[in-house]
Structure 1
Amino acid sequence: MRDALGRVEGVRSNDGSYEPLTVAGLGALLVGADEARRWRLVAEFLEEYRWEPAQERAALLEQEPGMTGDEHWDVFLAALTEHLATKDGRGAPAWVETRSLRRFWFPFNTRAARVDAVVHAPAAFRRRGVYVSPQELNVA
């Protein structure tokens, strides 16, 4: 759902109460979006996730997102889910184990970004072949 400025926000339930965006909802929003928009959506998801109480965050990661139409982003969502669950001291949902790339992907593909990502990519991303540096996730 979008607010008056076009930003993604959590959804309103039938009774009008706020519900934060889930990783499955994020996946649906990524379908057909260009790269710049996808990174803005990830940033907004992460912002909402950070504001949620720790004991409620696991529910935002449980439902498996549908396919986005881009294998890189499908795997990115699995890596992001595992990364967030690990940061919260929990195991990731079982669905993340089914997603991995056969060929490495560097979303930020400059020489400096590649070197930084090879050295510093979080484990959940590295093991799936997605090389993104932690600061990209903090900024995103």
Structure 2
Amino acid sequence: MRGVRADSGLSVRALADAAGVAASTVHRIEQGELQPTVDMLRRIVEAAGMRLRIDVRPDYSASVVGLARSIVSDNAAEDRTGPVRKAAELAHRFRVTDPETRRRMITAAPPATGDPRWDAFLAGLAEWLAVQTDMPVPGWTRHDSRYLRRGWWVTRMPSMRAWEYAGSPVSFQSRGVYLHRDSLTNI
């Protein structure tokens, strides 16, 4: 917000007066002490002679829903490493964020990816993340469609399968998905 005001050449008071808000409100927004509504932010930005644009894009590290959407594209490209790398990024983001954001990241059931292996993978990932942070495991992870009838090693290298099996978290193993935990923690 400070950059918007500086670019406009307005003082805190002048910008606040033009936007119809208190100067203390602009100051608190600039200090990160107040989270404005979109409408208030729009008014302040327009008073500074600018236009507010909100850009919404898919983000695979925002939630398991975003990751599922990304996996659909990766599957079409026959990319097995992309989803694992992206899942590791999601796991990292999950670990460093606040509890409410964590809840949002895993609570909603992701759409089917078109590949039951990746659907089971997503459930295993969500359960693993929940267990690591003492959160309730989302109910959608227990649906029958989130378990495989035959085991699946994410890696295509047979020489790695024993390592993958030995290091797979229980939440993945119980679904028939074998992927070493290091693949999800070393980004």
Give the TM bin, normalised by the shorter chain: 0.7 to 0.9
State the one-letter code of the partner of 2:63.
T
In structure 2, which of residues 97, 100, 125 is the aligned counterpart of residue 52 of structure 1?
97
Kindly provide the CA deviation profile for residues 84-104 of structure 1, in whole angstroms up to 9, marking residues without a partner as x. Answer: 000001221110001100010
**What TM-score, normalized to structure 2?**
0.60
- Report if aligned partners of 2:85, 2:184 keep a CA contact under 8 Å in 1: no
Answer yes or no: is 1:71 the counterpart of 2:116.
yes
In structure 2, which of residues 107, 111, 124 is the aligned counterpart of residue 62 of structure 1?
107
RMSD: 2.5
Q: Which has the higher contact order (CA 8 A, sep 6+)?
A: 1
The aligned counterpart of 1:24 is 65
- Report if aligned partners of 1:113, 1:133 keep a CA contact under 8 Å in 2: no
For 1:103 and 1:125, locate their aligned partners in 2 and report how far apart those are by CA, in whole Å. Answer: 13
Counterparts of 1:1-140 in structure 2, within 5 Å, are 15=38, 16=54, 21-33=62-74, 34-98=79-143, 99-139=146-186
- Report if aligned partners of 1:121, 1:134 keep a CA contact under 8 Å in 2: yes
**What TM-score, normalized to structure 1?**
0.79
Provide the identity percentage: 30
Kindly provide the CA deviation profile for residues 13-61 of structure 1, in whole angstroms up to 9, marking residues without a partner as x. Answer: x945999711111111211212233233223222322221134312210
For 2:73 and 2:101, locate their aligned partners in 1 and report how far apart those are by CA, in whole Å. Answer: 29
Relative to total residues, which structure has the larger helix share, 1 or 2?
2
For 1:40 and 1:121, locate their aligned partners in 2 and report how far apart those are by CA, in whole Å. Answer: 16
How many residue pairs get matched? Answer: 127
Tell me which moved more, 110-119 or 79-88: 110-119
- DSSP-derived class of the 1:31 partner: helix
State the one-letter code of the partner of 2:169.
P
Larger radius of gyration: 2
State the one-letter code of the partner of 1:30.
I
For 1:29 and 1:111, locate their aligned partners in 2 and report how far apart those are by CA, in whole Å. Answer: 26
State the one-letter code of the partner of 1:119.
A
| 4+ aligned runs moved over 3 Å, structure 1 | 14-20
State the one-letter code of the partner of 1:28.
R
Give 5+ residue unaligned stretches, structure 1: 1-13
Give 5+ residue unaligned stretches, structure 2: 1-36, 39-53
For 2:139 and 2:97, locate their aligned partners in 1 and report how far apart those are by CA, in whole Å. Answer: 22
State the one-letter code of the partner of 1:29.
S
